[in-house]
Amino acid sequence: MAAPVRLSVPTAADMHALGHDLARLVRAGDLVILDGELGAGKTQLAQGIGQGLGVRGPVISPTFVLSRVHPSLNAGPTLIHVDAYRLSGAAELDDLDIEADMPDGVTVIEWGRGLAESLNADRLDITIERGPDPDDDTRLVTVHPVGRRWDDLLADWEAIVNQDMGRDAEGDRHG
Ligand X SMILES: Nc1ncnc2c1ncn2[C@@H]1O[C@H](COP(=O)(O)OP(=O)(O)OP(=O)(O)O)[C@@H](O)[C@H]1O
Query: Footprint of Mg ion on this chain (CB under 5 A)?
Result: 42-43, 61, 110
AA letter at 100 = A
AA letter at 59 = V
Q: How many whole angstroms separate alpha carbon 21 and alpha carbon 4? A: 16
Please state at what angle helix 12-25 crosses helix 42-53, rounded to 10 degrees: 50
> Pattern of binders to ligand X over 62-101, x per CB under 6 A?
----------------------------------------
Angle ∠(65,70,75) on CA atoms, nearest 5: 165
- Taking CB under 6 A as the binding criterion, the range among 41-49, 66-74, 115-123, 158-166 that sits at the site for ligand X is 41-49
Return the number of the residue (76 or 110) whose C-beta is nearest ligand X: 110
In the set 6, 81, 123, 139, which binds ligand X (CB under 6 A)? 139
Residues that bind ligand X (CB under 6 A): 9-12, 15, 36, 38-44, 61, 110, 137-139
